[in-house]
């Protein structure tokens, strides 16, 4: 039985401009028609007042990091001291507690206008490294959590096999905290994650945690797995200068060159962060069409640095955005931060238009996650919509034709009024329709990991 709905958008961003009065017809979760110059809602239409964008794509998430919010803001430290606290939360996760936390985190994302998440998932096994009865119990918990929260997910099942680069041929064995991340070898990783099945709301991709966590001789196994399935492949890349130094010491090349030499780079691959790169690295990434996922709120929270996003994009690397550690969950802030970080670095303005930043947060983010049929309000695309209020204390005043600029440079996640996923109203008037009390769900799930 076909399910049909018409949404009337007071204003809609249609990639190049803001159009007033747009009717979007939906059948079975896809857009079947887009009609402009519709001044009043058609009879029976669902009304979305404000500026409607395509659903936003959060291209890089570690759901359990949400439990660290504020806790890691006490005192000072480095990425490496932050990592020790992160491990303490990872140690306490079970399939049930991870489902509860991820369900609440994904509901928070829906409230922020995010319709699709890329979950960079590496907490695979029990704390001592033994497999659960279902070896993919943790991944299945995340897939179920996304369904319960009403959003799409690309589960980027992550190979994480070593604690550090030991030498040219092998890595240092996982430490006590990392044992649950490891399958022992890339072949065992591939065997386990091959069992995962895609669903209407879920796609399966692969990830290499980093060059320090997957020995060089096993990189190609992960790359082949993704290539055989035409799946997205993500990798943390040059987030820390210590990673670069260790790679140069062991292999005589940068992490980017090491990945290139082992067949990892390419148009379905996305490097996450890509912060500390050489000119040759940038040319390699751009020349192979490898994407870049910038996570500005995490990168500044961890004092990682500002990546060369402008140079990467000019070289041919498509840009997407992620909230990573969830210091905040706000894709509008990520888009704004990418531009403002570059302004601080260069002391010049206007590196990206608002439209380009919105594309990074929508169409290009979806493409990085393997959803090429999402991220635009067009016939045939998935009916995922995000509506931002134009009458809040942050957004009131500008003329509607500047809606894209208002969304990127003034609005926050708090201004999201509606989120529609596959034609279903998941957030209506700022309230989640599937998770009744998202703040309480978050509080309970985080508290469960403290005890």
User: Which residues are catalytically annotated?
Assistant: 273, 324
* 376, HSE (Cβ side, Cα atoms, 13 Å): 18
What tokens appear for 119 in the block? 């979950």
DSSP 103-134: HHHHHHHHHTTEEEEEEEE---S-TTSPPPSS
User: Within 10 Å of residue 151's Cβ, how many Cβ atoms?
Assistant: 25
Which distant-in-sequence residues (6+ apart) come within 8 Å of 52 by Cβ? 7, 9, 10, 11, 12, 13, 22, 377, 385, 386, 387, 388, 418
Query: What is the Cα–Cα distance from 178 to 295, expressed in whole angstroms?
Result: 23
Distance (Å, whole) CA 430 – CA 421: 15
The two tokens of residue 164 are 């550090």
In sequence order, what are the beta bridge partners of 30?
A: 27, 382
| CA–CA distance, 95 with 114 (Å, rounded to integer) | 24
Look at strands 18-27 and 30-35 and give their pairing. Answer: antiparallel
Name, in order, each residue with C-beta under 8 angstroms of 29's C-beta and a sequence gap of 6 or more: 3, 382, 383, 422, 423, 424
Q: Are strands 164-165 and 171-172 parallel, antiparallel or unpaired?
A: antiparallel
Find the length of the chain: 451
What is d(CA 24, CA 8) in angstroms, rounded to the nearest whole number? 6
Helix axes 438-448 and 95-111, enclosed angle (nearest 10):
150
Quick one: tokens of 350? 């206007």
Token reading at 90: 């990872």
Residues 6+ apart with CB under 8 A from 420: 7, 48, 55, 115, 383, 384, 385, 386, 426
Determine the Cα–Cα distance for residues 379 and 203; give it in Å rounded to an integer: 22
């Amino acid at each position: 039985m076909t399910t049909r709905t018409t949404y009337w958008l007071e204003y809609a961003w249609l990639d190049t401009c803001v159009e007033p009065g747009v009717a979007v017809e939906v059948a079975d979760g896809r857009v079947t028609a887009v009609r402009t110059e519709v001044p009043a809602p058609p009879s029976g239409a669902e009304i979305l007042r404000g500026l409607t964008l395509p659903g936003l794509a959060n291209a890089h998430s570690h759901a359990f990091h949400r439990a660290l919010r504020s806790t890691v803001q006490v005192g000072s430290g480095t990425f490496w001291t932050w990592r020790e606290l992160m491990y303490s939360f990872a140690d306490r996760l079970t399939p049930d507690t991870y489902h509860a936390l991820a369900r609440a985190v994904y509901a928070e994302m829906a409230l922020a206008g995010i319709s699709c998440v890329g979950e960079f998932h590496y907490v695979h096994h029990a704390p001592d490294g033994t497999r659960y009865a279902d070896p993919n119990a943790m991944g299945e918990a995340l897939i179920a959590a996304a369904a319960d929260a009403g959003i799409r997910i690309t589960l980027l099942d992550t190979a994480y096999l070593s604690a550090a680069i030991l030498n040219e041929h092998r890595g240092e064995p996982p430490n006590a905290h990392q044992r649950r991340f490891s399958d022992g070898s890339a072949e065992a990783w591939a065997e386990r994650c091959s069992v995962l099945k895609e669903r209407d709301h879920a796609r399966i991709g692969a990830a290499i945690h980093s060059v320090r966590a997957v020995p060089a001789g096993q990189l190609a196994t992960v790359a082949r797995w993704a290539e055989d399935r035409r799946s997205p492949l993500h990798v943390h890349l040059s987030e820390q200068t210590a990673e670069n130094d260790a790679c140069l010491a062991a292999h005589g090349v940068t992490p980017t060159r090491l990945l290139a030499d082992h067949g990892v780079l390419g148009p379905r691959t996305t490097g996450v962060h890509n912060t500390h790169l050489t000119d040759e690295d940038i040319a390699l990434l751009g020349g192979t069409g490898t994407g870049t996922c910038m996570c500005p709120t995490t990168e500044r929270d961890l004092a990682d640095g500002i990546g060369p996003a402008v140079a990467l994009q000019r070289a041919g690397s498509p840009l997407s955005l992620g909230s990573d550690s969830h210091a905040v969950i706000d894709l509008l802030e990520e888009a704004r931060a990418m531009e403002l970080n570059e302004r601080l670095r260069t002391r010049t303005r206007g590196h990206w238009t608002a439209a380009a930043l919105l594309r990074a947060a929508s169409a290009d983010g979806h493409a990085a996650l393997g959803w090429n049929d999402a991220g635009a309000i067009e016939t045939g695309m998935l009916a995922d919509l995000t509506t931002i209020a134009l009458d809040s204390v942050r957004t009131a005043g500008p003329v509607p034709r500047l809606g894209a600029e208002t969304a990127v440079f003034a609005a926050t996640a708090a201004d999201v009024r509606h989120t529609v996923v596959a034609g279903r109203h998941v957030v209506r008037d700022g309230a989640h329709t599937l998770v009744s009390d998202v703040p309480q769900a978050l509080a309970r799930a985080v508290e469960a990991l403290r005890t």
